[in-house]
């Protein structure tokens, strides 16, 4: 597995990470034994960058990773997040970036994960009630205490990144980036490069839609949150399916899957970009890993650019209430 460096201070991770959210939340029921098998397989194949958060499954996802970490901690570059607060029953209570909460959330994650330090600790969403300087200052104190090695932000805008970087080095920004979500190309990605911040792309396969495996929401579990995602709704899904079909046509010519083409495209956008697709199947994991070896020609990249230019994406990436919390 090829490696990439996030930030300027030497955080080296596998070129492809593994997003673990769906193993515990949001995408319907899952099997723990199968999830553990995927995690083991990822590490065996050199995917060492595991991404979780305290809100995924209200702590259950961190507890899942703990079962791997107690045996293979040295094989893992561990990333987790704080800031999205949920009640024990899963209800969302808001965003908290206060210094006291930063310290308490970190200690709680360390306990659930069963580790002495977190490699990359992100603020999951920026708290508009708390100056970013205060939040990052509290995160910096975690580094000084040896509880955290590197700092990150998620879904922060360019101005927030600049202010945060004035307090402490930010190794990575994690935001949504894919063939159907390219907002970050306008201001955020250039700011990351100006500041020496690596970019971690979540939902690089459009929550599975870019694989071509979701023709309608009927194939999703009843409690799958994508049923409420705007881009999956009837008024948008047909338009978005045309983008997927156009990408699939290029993939067929290249002799790869649409998912592999989508991941390879992201990897070609810069050596500072690390996608973190999630999966609960070892076969999908192997398919994704193969994308890291896919070299796209200039002609193929231009064909993809032509598709993106002629196929507009329909619908917001989150419902309105959730969109209010991104790019803060």
Hey, which residues are catalytic here?
56
* Residue given tokens 């999703």 in the structure block: 220
- CA 172, CA 150: separation in Å to the nearest integer? 8
Q: Which two tokens stand for residue 35?
A: 């999830």
Strand partners for 4: 13
Q: In angstroms, what is the C-alpha Rg of the chain?
A: 19
Q: Are 55 and 84 in contact (CB under 8 A)?
A: yes
Residue 218: partners with Cβ closer than 8 Å, 6 or more residues away: none
Which pair of tokens denotes residue 5?
């460096």
State the DSSP code for 297: P
Residues 6 or more apart whose Cβ sits within 8 Å of residue 234: none
Pull the structure tokens for residue 23.
């193993």
Q: Count CB neighbours of 20 within 10 A.
A: 29
Dihedral sign, CA of 221, 223, 228, 231? negative
């Amino acid at each position: 597995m090829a490696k990439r460096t996030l930030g300027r201070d030497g955080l080296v991770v596998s070129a492809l990470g593994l997003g673990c959210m769906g193993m515990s939340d949001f995408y319907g029921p899952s099997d723990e034994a199968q999830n553990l098998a995927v995690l083991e397989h990822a590490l065996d194949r050199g995917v060492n960058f595991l991404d979780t958060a305290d809100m995924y499954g209200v702590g259950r996802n961190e507890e899942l990773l703990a079962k791997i970490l107690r045996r293979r901690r040295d094989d893992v570059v561990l990333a987790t997040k704080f800031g999205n607060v949920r009640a024990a029953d899963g209800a969302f209570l808001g965003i908290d970036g206060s210094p006291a909460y930063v310290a308490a959330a970190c200690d709680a994650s360390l306990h659930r994960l069963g580790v002495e330090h977190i490699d990359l600790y992100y603020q999951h969403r920026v708290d508009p009630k708390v100056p970013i300087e205060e939040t990052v200052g509290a995160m910096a104190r975690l580094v000084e205490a040896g509880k955290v090695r590197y700092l990150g932000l998620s879904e922060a805008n360019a101005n927030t990144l600049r202010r945060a970087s004035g307090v402490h080095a930010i190794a990575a920004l994690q935001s949504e980036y894919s063939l159907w979500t390219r907002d970050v190309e306008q201001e955020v990605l250039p700011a990351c490069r100006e500041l020496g911040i690596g970019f971690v792309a979540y939902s690089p396969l459009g929550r599975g839609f870019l694989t071509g495996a979701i023709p309608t929401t009927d194939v999703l579990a009843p409690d799958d949150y994508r049923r409420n995602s705007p881009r999956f709704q009837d008024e948008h899904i047909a338009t978005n399916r045309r983008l997927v079909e156009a990408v699939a046509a290029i993939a067929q010519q290249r002799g790869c899957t649409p998912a592999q083409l989508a991941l390879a495209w992201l990897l070609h956008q810069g050596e500072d970009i690390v996608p973190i697709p999630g999966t609960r199947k070892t076969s999908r994991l192997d398919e994704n890993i193969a994308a890291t070896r896919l070299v796209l020609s200039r002609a193929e990249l231009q064909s993809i650019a032509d598709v993106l230019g002629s196929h507009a994406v329909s619908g917001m990436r989150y419902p309105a209430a959730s969109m209010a919390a991104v790019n803060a």
